[in-house]
Structure 1
Amino acid sequence: MKTIIKTVVLTLALVFSYNAHAQKFPDLDKSPMDAATYPGSYKISEKDVKVVYSRPQLNGRDVAKLVPHNEVWRTGANEATEITFYKPVTFGDTKVKPGTYTLFTIPGEKEWTVILSSDINVWGAYTYKQDHDVARMKATASQSKDILEAFSIVFDESESGAVMHMGWGTTRVKVPISF
């Protein structure tokens, strides 16, 4: 009888102990994190550039209201987007050393200002400081007939390196990067 009581008490203690220390996982993020690389093939392990960003969704909203013109934007959602160069690049007219930078943008109707900042591990653009800019360039903005529900970044090869394409809604922005 004592053995049965000890077994029951031990079993109950284990059950309650397990529940008391069980990990609670959060729900899925509404703006999931993603990465874009160049070269983009998974068969090529050595990359030249990688962008890690979160992908906000339109959900029936207007891009211009979510990302107002002439205001610094984190270029995605949640944490500010980070771009890593694995070799020296030319970004606009500026030579940039290998490393990780925050990618901010200032959207406009016909062109966007694309910014590399030395500040990393930042949330949003709330603490953005222009004096921490490493490089800036103007990039042409155009409109597409196709609508992208989620903010997206992809790369294409160019004669001098790669072109980073950013798109959301019907807006498309091309950012040339030379290697």
Structure 2
Amino acid sequence: MKRFLIFLAVGVALIAILLLVQHIQLKKTKSLSPEEEVSYSEGDLTIHVLYNRPSKRGRKIFGELVPYGKVWRTGANEATTFETDKPIKIAGKILPVGKYSLWTIPDSTAWTVIFNSEYGQWGINHTGEANRNPANDVLTVSILAVNQERTFEQFTIAFEKVDEEAEMVLLWDNTVVAVPFSR
């Protein structure tokens, strides 16, 4: 019985140590890509985006760190979350009221932007692939990507009002992708 209690105590201690190490690693990862929330409000429409902001840190981003033609979690850590309290048109297509994960497929001239009904998941699975189930895609649009001379060190999502529409703008490295939306 005494031997069993010793094994049990050692097992509990090992589990506690593993959980502590995992917590420390997650905290370090989060500090390198801090969490950010941005919102857009106009009239009775409110949109919230929750995402993590990785930094360039001397790396070539699109086409290397974030490969062309592969699904990206559009940030770091957890998949980016997009929530709208009213139906909106994104690039002319209707996105219903709801909360979504936001995914993109970058390419050198255009990006595919995907709104998926599954949200709250970690952005990649254990194999390093995007943790997205395509069966839950609600809306997919293609948006032009613009390369600029200016470099954006940290990945940023911002909102801009443009005439009768607005844009959700994704900026990182030398790339700008402006996703138009309206009521």
Q: TM-score, normalised by structure 2?
A: 0.76
Q: What's the offset of the Cα at 1:45?
A: 10
**Residue 79 of structure 2 corresponds to which residue in structure 1?**
80
Alignment of 1:86-125 (within 5 A): 86-125=85-124
1:3: which partner in 2?
A: none
Aligned to 1:49: 47
Where 1:131 maps in the other structure, the secondary structure is helix
Bigger CA radius of gyration: 1
Aligned to 1:63: 61
The question of whether the paired residues in 2 share the 8 Å contact of 1:50 and 1:84 is answered with yes
1:124-156 Cα distance to aligned partner (Å, 9 max, x none): 143212121000101110111111110001111
| Partner SS, residue 135 of structure 1 | strand
Q: What CA RMSD, in Å, does the superposition of the two structures yield over aligned residues?
A: 2.2
Pick one of 164, 167, 172 that aligns with 2:168.
164
Q: Which residue of 2 aligns with 1:38?
A: 40
Paired position in structure 2 for 1:153: 157
Q: How many residues align?
A: 153
The superposition leaves residues 87-120 of structure 1 with CA deviations (integer Å, 9 ceiling, x where unpaired) of 1101234312211100000000000000000011
3-state SS of the aligned residue for 2:70?
coil
* Contact 1:160/1:177, CA 8 A, preserved across alignment: no
Query: Is the aligned partner of 1:140 residue 2:144?
Result: yes
Partner amino acid, structure 2, of 1:153: I
Distance 1:30 1:46, change over 3 A: farther
> Which secondary structure state, in structure 1, belongs to the residue aligned with residue 151 of structure 2?
strand
| Separation of aligned partners in 1, 2:44 and 2:89 | 19
SS in 1 for 2:32: coil
- Distance in 2 between residues matched to 1:174 and 1:90, nearest whole Å: 14
* CA distance in 2: counterparts of 1:47 and 1:32, whole angstroms: 27
Percent identity over paired residues = 34
Distance 1:47 1:151 in 2: 25
**Cα offset for 1:178?**
1.3
TM-score, normalised with respect to structure 1: 0.78
Give, in whole Å, the separation in 2 of the partners of 1:32 and 1:127: 20
Deviation digits for residues 8-31 of structure 1, max 9, x if unmatched?
xxxxxxxxxxxxxxxx98556110
Q: Which amino acid aligns with 1:89?
A: I
**Is the 2:45–2:86 Cα contact (8 Å) retained in structure 1?**
no
Q: Specify every segment of 5 or more residues in structure 2 that has no aligned partner in the other structure, as ranges.
A: 1-22, 125-129
